[in-house]
């Protein structure tokens, strides 16, 4: 819908509404080819020079286990999108636009471990099954017996369902001004929030860090997604300088026909989720769900996410998370996407010189500089605690119920890479 409010083209209101369907991931179906009977694999111990079983029980009884599953109902995720904008020409050739943009995704693909160790004491031995799973240590058979499909062994089964959801709301503004002969200034700012239980908008195809944490409480994974950016600002200027066509050859060819362009970008960092990581002496981690990649620690009340002081690459505050006092067989209260990663800032600059040889042949000399200020933009923050040591209440993983102390990795919360530094390039473009 579009409405010229005053009838003179000075003020316009525009709005839109649509529903869009997500094409199902092809990878989910292709992954089924890794399951038996299409793909057989027999685990065990053997001699290098013989395929004979070296001792009774050396070879596993099965010839492979299912690793993937897909929701057979054939549901398709969809996304409702809506917006409303008001645009106003505030002065000649200058327009200000302010609007609201929202969307809601439902039935989106998400992945969970169908073989996750369930909550409760299902074997009725007086100990919660997830704590039993931790106490089982490296005993694969004992761990498998605690899973719902333990007949396939102690292994995760990544199942792709369609219960994911997302929600996006934003204020979007834009100012555009045209002046001179082809010059333009443009600036835009977006203030938004993207939350959901699907991290990348369409879900994963294997049970990993983005999989459902606890099947009995999927709301634990509801929070800012990996695509969330609270603030995004962009501004650009293109200056088309006079061609000086009426001047002498030297002045026209050297000083005339220049274009200068610059782009400035700034945005908040993406949402980060902190995980426990690998833990010495606890190969089954701390939650006992059987899916190690997505287990999370506890938050320390009153401690901010962002680090203060220390090296520039220290993005997260190590004191904001803890495993001290963690009850084994439970799940940490540190939520998904609770911290912003490093922000982004960059200014690019370009100079173009247009040269006319004939009315049919032209050339353009181009000199471009990216990240003019050589600003360091950090990426790849280490979000896994990866303790170098832990202490347990009983001193033994086979009987412990609680962590009494830990030492996080020295690299926790640090960025491990940066975006490109300042770069420059020169080029010649011939048009005929």
pLDDT of 61 reads: 66
SS3 assignment, position 415: strand
Q: Is the peptide bond before 208 cis (omega within 30 degrees of 0)?
A: no
The model's pLDDT over 15-67, given as tens digits with 9 standing for 90+, comes to: 999 999 988 777 777 888 888 888 877 777 888 888 888 887 777 766 778 88
> Which pLDDT score, from 0 to 100, does residue 206 have?
64
162-172 pLDDT, tens per residue? 889 999 999 99
Please tell me which residue, 132 or 76, carries the higher pLDDT value.
Answer: 132
When the pLDDT of each residue in the chain is averaged and rounded to a whole number, the result is 91
- The dihedral of CA 356, 358, 359, 360: what is its sign? negative
Q: Give residue 405's pLDDT.
A: 95
pLDDT in tens, 385-394: 999 999 999 9
| Residue 260, token pair as written in the block | 């200068």
| Mean of pLDDT values over 268-292 | 92
Per-residue pLDDT band for 327 (boundaries 50, 70, 90) equals very high
Query: pLDDT value at position 200?
Result: 64
- DSSP-derived secondary structure letter, 249: H
Strands 68-70 and 158-179: parallel
Token couple for 123: 């074997």
């Amino acid at each position: 819908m579009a409405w010229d409010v005053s009838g003179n083209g000075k003020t316009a209101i525009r709005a839109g509404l649509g529903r869009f369907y997500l094409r199902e991931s092809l990878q989910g179906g292709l992954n089924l080819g890794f399951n038996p009977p299409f793909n057989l694999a027999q685990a065990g111990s053997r001699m290098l020079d013989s395929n004979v079983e070296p001792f009774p029980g050396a070879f596993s009884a099965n010839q492979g286990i299912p690793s993937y599953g897909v929701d057979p109902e054939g549901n398709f995720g969809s996304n409702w999108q809506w917006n409303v904008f008001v645009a106003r020409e505030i002065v000649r050739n200058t327009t200000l636009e302010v609007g609201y943009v929202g969307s809601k995704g439902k039935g989106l693909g998400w992945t969970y471990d169908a073989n996750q160790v369930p909550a409760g004491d299902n074997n009725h031995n007086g100990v919660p099954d997830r704590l039993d799973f931790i106490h089982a240590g490296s005993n694969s058979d004992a761990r498998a017996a605690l899973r719902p499909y333990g007949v396939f062994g102690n292994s995760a089964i990544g199942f792709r369902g369609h219960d994911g959801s997302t929600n996006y709301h934003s204020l979007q503004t834009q100012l555009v001004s045209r002046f001179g002969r082809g010059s333009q200034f443009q600036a835009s700012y977006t203030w938004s929030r993207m939350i959901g239980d699907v991290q990348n908008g369409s879900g994963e195809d294997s049970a990993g860090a983005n999989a459902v944490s606890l099947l009995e409480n999927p709301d634990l994974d509801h929070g800012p997604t990996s695509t969330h950016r609270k603030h995004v600002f962009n501004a650009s200027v293109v200056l088309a300088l006079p061609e000086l066509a009426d001047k002498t050859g030297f002045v026209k060819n050297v000083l005339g026909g220049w274009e200068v362009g610059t782009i400035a970008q700034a945005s908040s960092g993406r949402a980060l989720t902190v995980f426990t990581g690998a833990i010495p002496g606890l190969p089954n981690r701390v939650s006992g769900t059987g899916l190690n990649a997505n287990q999370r620690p506890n938050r320390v009340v009153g401690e901010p996410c962002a680090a203060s002081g220390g090296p520039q690459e220290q993005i997260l505050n190590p004191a904001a998370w803890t495993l001290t006092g963690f009850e084994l067989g439970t799940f940490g209260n540190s939520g998904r996407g609770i911290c912003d990663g490093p922000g982004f800032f960059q200014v690019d600059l370009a100079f173009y010189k247009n040269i006319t040889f004939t009315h049919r042949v032209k050339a353009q000399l181009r000199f471009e500089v990216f990240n003019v200020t050589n600003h360091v933009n950090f990426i790849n923050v280490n979000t896994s605690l990866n303790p170098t040591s832990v202490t347990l209440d009983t001193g033994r993983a086979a009987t412990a119920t609680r962590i009494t102390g830990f030492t996080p990795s020295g690299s926790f919360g640090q960025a491990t890479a940066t975006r490109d530094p300042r770069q420059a390039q020169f080029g010649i473009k011939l048009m005929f």
